[in-house]
Structure 1
Amino acid sequence: MSEPAVTTEDADQKVNILIVDDRPDKLMAHEVLLEELNQNIVKATSGKEALRCLLKEDFAVILLDVNMPGMDGFETASMIRQRPRSETTPIIFISAVNDTENHVSRGYSLGAVDYILTPVVPEILRAKIMVFADLFKKTEQIKRQGEERAKFIRAQAARKEAEARQERLAFLADASNVLARSLEFHDTFQNLAHLVVPRLADFCIIDIADDFGMLQQVAVAHRDPEQAAMLENLREHYPSSLASRHGGTRVFQTGKSEMCCDMTEEVLHDLFDREEDRQLIRALNAKSYTAVPLRARDRVLGAITMVNTTAHRQCGPNELSLAEELAQRAALALDNAGLYKAAQKAREEAERANLAKDRFLAMLSHELRTPLTPVLTSLLSFDSEEDVPDKIRPTLQMIRRNVELEARLIDDLLDLTRISKGKVQLSLEIVDAHGLLRNALEICQADIDQKQLVLELDLSASHVRLEADPARVQQIFWNLIKNAVKFTAQGGQLRIRTGNDELASELRVEVSDSGVGIDAESLPKIFKAFEQGERARMGGLGLGLAISKSLVEAHHGHITAESAGRDQGATFTAVFPLTDVAAQEESNGSGAAPADRKTMRILLVEDHEDTNRSLTQLLRRRGYHVQPAHNVRNALDLAATEEFDIVVSDIGLPDGTGVDLMQRLNATRPIAGIALTGFGMEEDIQKSHDGGFYHHLVKPVDLNKLDSIIQKVPLVERS
């Protein structure tokens, strides 16, 4: 091996030379002698001082006097050799003692490189010193080169490790993207297998357990297309039951990873019992394999098997760790897909059940409402007759109230469904809250009189005009008053008050009673549907307050309940915002006088005979020309022979639907329409509007409301 070349930088570098002698004159003489070498001369006057110098610096050579007081040169050399840092530093003894043989032997025994007697020949000493100086420089250069080489190797190793780590993170990121792309795990795992090949393995098999504990091959990939077909049929060549010993199945059974870096014949015999199975693996040229379990929530869901057909791939703890990290992410994705499918199935079942419930409620509403319409219209007809005996009128009014109550209960069920879906729709207009409150009170007046309740009515609010849905606001007031009457004993007190805040920005309506009260435990739940607490013994569905709360909030207001406890009565307060529009309307008065009534030709289509007959009579009494029809065919025949201004039609007809009828009528001659039906769900209303109806009324119909809508319908001009 050639010596390392000394560079110019190394040649110019000064080395340290240590001279140890107890006599200052000799120290000076040696320093002068070596001065022309242009090196760093360090002097010490004793062995102890020399040792202190060696603690601070490294020296190329040490000139050590033998005869020194205290610690002589031999003792000093022995101490120098005991320190690892200076155990190889060259020592040249210098002595004037002529006992040459004994001193030289002892000096060499202590590791000295030379023993020189004084007087010293300058040239010889300088030459020897330079030899050791050059040797020191070369040794230091070799050390530096070794350190630089080691540093370079460490840097390379660190760079390779960083690159491997970056590749690992990039691969896992790509795997996460694949796994997050879809919840259809068959496609996802097939894409994952193609990601594994060729980045981690030469071929890959992914097995997932079915509901019966059998492994099913869901994905396979091979870098060699010619081998892919053989791999696709791999499951046909060896069993996938839990009794099999091959890697994927064993890993699934034990839940522990396996790595085999050398697929020897012994390994093949351990994995496969049949020779044809071993032949297949040999044909695939498998050299090593890694199998890792798909584990999530303490369950093993399947396994990923990665096989290499070449020997150049790494096979060790790092590769196993990466495979396990991949399997962990894949298992999480598989588990999430399962949870999503379960949740989706549950949601679909809930939606089907909810849809079935809505259909049932819609049909129930229709079937219950339809018989009420002729009853209510007949009552209205009797009530308008002057020759009805006075003693019968209270009975007629009682029947009417109960019919309206029955309709209200039906509406409550449908309102609850609308509220749960967030589909409450408001028909906003400027309304007089006091007028609506009096209407609601009038409906409940008979019950108040029957219980002989003491009513205190204090309508002190000066600003009462709201931008609101009048039917809904009256419904709120009716619910609150009805609730107070219901839970107040015979002879109790009922107080209704209104007021405004200081800024006149809100209307406050209070309904108080002296009834059964609300205990502290039930008070927070009083506005929840079907929650009545101890009040359940009074009957009812427990829907009125829940619906009222939702309707108040739909008007951007709020409602509260207060009670001192059981038998202490209760106070319900509904607060509505007063809008600028309402305030302007209020300042301008109640508006223009109503326009003159329009006499119109009405085509009434209703298959329920009693409803058809009663509505026909009542509408004719109000001055309308009415032609009744009982089905689509009958209505079309009438429309073909006579012109009508408006059609009032049921939706469900024996030979079609009201929507069909409207579309066929409008196809030949446009006409305005009002739907009159027992179906009152949001989708029913939407279908009516989509079918061309101007308005959708739900049975039992309020004749006054029907009359008002007929008067408001914009008529279609005839050409």
Structure 2
Amino acid sequence: MSEKVNILTVDDRPENLLALEAVLANPEYNLVGVTSGEDALKCLLNDDFAVILLDVQMPGLSGFETAKLIRTRQKYQNIPIIFITAISQTDENVLEGYASGAVDYIFKPFSPQVLQAKVDAFIRMHKCQNQLARQSETLKRQVQELDKLNEQLTLTTVELYRNEVLLEKVVQERTQQIASILESIKDAFFTLDNNFNFTYVNSTAENGLGRPRKEILGKNLAEIYDHSPNFVKKLIAAASHREQADFEAMCPRSERWYAVRAYPSEIGLSVYLNDITERKLIEKEMGRLERLNLIGEMAAGIAHEIRNPMTTVRGFLQYAKHSRTVLSPTHLDLMVAELDRANSIITEFLSLAKNKNADKKLHSLGSVVESLLPLIQAEAILSGKTVVTDIETVPEFEFDEKEIRQLILNLSMNGLEAMQAGECLKIRVYEETDAIVLAVEDEGSGIAPEIMDKLGTPFFTTKDSGTGLGLAVCYSIAVRHNAAIDIKTGNWGTIIYVRFKLNAADAVSIKQGRYDQEDCSR
């Protein structure tokens, strides 16, 4: 019987706790109900919880304050928090809830079925994470055991090779000992000679191949694994280079995944296959749940950003309807500006599409930067900052000029906004071995480590008035141009590198000088 999963419910009204207990009643769940934020923090010190259902309005610590305190501890960073409230239903309350670390914000009265479905999804994710952690530990122990076993096998082989006088007796004893060990492990194991013919097959490998040993021993690897040519090629490469090989492979016949580890030696190859099919399924389910969570976050972001200008326009129209007056040109201009803002948000969001067609033509990246320089310098002068460039002569290559102009402007404006008056933004263009590089360097305070992994996520922003789409659009443009974005940051500032991979046909000019890579490390 599986262990019960703990769910923490926090509400200052006992009747609400009873209602949640009735909705979430499940023999697999252990519901722990408390009536204050202080008691909730005490519970977290004693037990692990898969989900926290938290009321907003409570005496003492409010729900928002309780959530913020929970998120300050590294141990509780990944516990999903769902706010449930009947009062705090404004957009500001919802935003504060998400800022406090919530993954969802539910208004009362709510649908019991919806709440059950959401809690069930987080419970499945919690179980998958725990199972994956346990399997990782098990796999780690197995790898350690296999490493020890391989070391023992290697020493045994050397000993047999050097003691020819006692060869027959030692071979018999060692073979029985090793065979007993190999037959007891759950992983498939087999050995090959230098001609890639099978010399040993344990019972697990025999069952996996679906053939008796007498039909496998002495046969060639390519003959037995005729359904997996890539698997055969990798084992041959490991033996040829005399290097240990570690890779994952799927068996088409059984449709199961294996972690393969091959050890070459002077007399052949030892191969272990660990079945990781369950782990692959868990990883796939985790990826699906993460994508669903991202879709929800993006939908909430779009709704919030577009609802604000729509509210403004609707307010003016209602005013004109009820007062029976004609709106002034100023009011009409404001309404048009708000609609343009909503349209701009939608346009930026559509720029994220991977399948967007790019009008690529042969251009010079340096020329595009130089054409944008007056615009960037004008923006810098307004805030008391400076802009310098270092543009080397590099080969022309094919790109969509409009999209690259947008990418350069987005990165430059982000750099200017990150700096204080008197600081300098540097834009460089240079050539590496197989790439043209655009580097935008600012002298700001750098990017905090905890948000580095979130950069490029749609609607994630640290700005008071940003939409969180600028850097996401840059990543999307880079993908369409076969480019990679790398970021280096510290208290000295931030450098964003955009490396455009060159095709053989693109690299047609000789680079005039090369940027010294040591100047890049600060």
Q: Same fold (TM over 0.5)?
A: no
- After TM superposition, the score normalised by the length of structure 2 is 0.32
Larger radius of gyration: 1
